[in-house]
Amino acid sequence: MNDKSLGRLTKLVGLLILAAGTVGAQAGSSNSTEDWAALIGNRYSIHSNLTYKVAAGYEAKLDVYAPRRGEGPFSTVMNIHGGGWTGGTKEALALRLMPYLQMGLAVVNVEYRLARISLAPAAVQDCRCALQWVIRNAETYKFDTARIVVTGSSAGGHLSLMTGILDPSAGLDDECPGNEKLAVAAIVNFYGITDVVDLLDGPHRQTYAVAWLGGMENREAVARRVSPLTYVREGLPPILTIHGDADTIVPYVHATRMHQELDRLRVPNQLLTIPGGKHGGFTDEQTLQIDRVIRAFLTKHDIL
């Protein structure tokens, strides 16, 4: 690791420590910020910018936050950043990892090819390969492959859904070598896109979706192929969705349609609606409510 990368990592660790104290105080923890700093440093080792896939000369990387204590294996969260498939970085979401670290889970923070590098379905293919990497490296980092949770927000929410529910027959796993069964125990979806076709034209049109599909002649067919609603079926893992009902970037109807279909097929699911909530940016009270719901959801489904 060069000096510049080490500096970024040091800054990131500092932010995580600060956030630990803040979250602990808000949640009524008896630990001070200093206590949390000591605990985080003692309990986790960070493995930064590990290459999980090379495609067309692009090295897709991820970070691992691995518990130091205990023999494991540990429940593991795979986190996928948002940004409309056109922007964003894994580092920008580091503070959102804190609740999972406080729960004692291992965390894998994933980047993927953005639209300027490769159009759809590249991001989906990358995230599926990241899941395969997690499964393949479970022994090294003490991941519990029976308790993998995939999560993300916005485009990351979409990719978390696609990673967790994609039917292998769709042919989007071909870039992932090996024959591991790609399965997760649960999905936590923050206001993710569930119908990409809906965002290409009409009242819900979004420039980021148009950019991700580019000028493809068959763009609607590709959009259906990368839409979570295409793959709703019996036997899926439990899905929790958090979505504001005033979201104009990813319309709230994407959440309600998805969960109506899940209910119809009796897939375990929960929709937490944030009244007046927009595209993230929730209040402190709403954020703490979300944290409590996630903990209850993961406990109910034997992740914690």
Q: Domain segments of the chain: what residues?
A: 34-300
Ramachandran region, residue 273 (left: φ > 0; alpha: ψ -120 to 50; beta: rest): beta
Q: 41: pLDDT confidence band, cut at 50, 70 and 90?
A: low
Q: Which of 209, 233, 74, 215 is nearest to 139 (CA)?
A: 74
Q: pTM higher than 0.75 for the full model?
A: yes
Average pLDDT score over the chain: 89
pLDDT confidence of residue 34: 55
Rounded Cα gap, residues 147 and 185, in angstroms: 5
pLDDT confidence of residue 146: 98
Token reading at 231: 């793959």
Supply the DSSP symbol for 198: G
Res. 19: pLDDT tops 70: no
Q: Which residues contact 127 (CB under 8 A, 6 or more apart)?
A: 80, 110, 112, 159, 160, 162, 163
Q: 5: pLDDT confidence band, cut at 50, 70 and 90?
A: very low
- Give the position of tokens 């993230």: 280
- Over the Cα atoms of the chain, what is R_g? 18
What is the maximal distance between C-alpha atoms in the chain?
Answer: 59
Pseudo-torsion of CA 134, 140, 146, 150, nearest 10°? -30
Token reading at 214: 């580019």
Q: 70: pLDDT confidence band, cut at 50, 70 and 90?
A: confident
Q: Provide the b/e sequence for 46-64 (b: ≥16 CB within 10 Å).
A: eebeeebbebeeeebbbbb
pLDDT tens, position by position, 115-166: 999 999 999 999 999 999 999 999 999 999 999 999 999 999 999 999 999 9
- 34-300 placed in CATH 2.40.40.20: no
pLDDT confidence of residue 39: 63
What's the half-sphere exposure (Cβ side, CA atoms, 13 Å) at 276? Answer: 3
pLDDT confidence of residue 18: 44
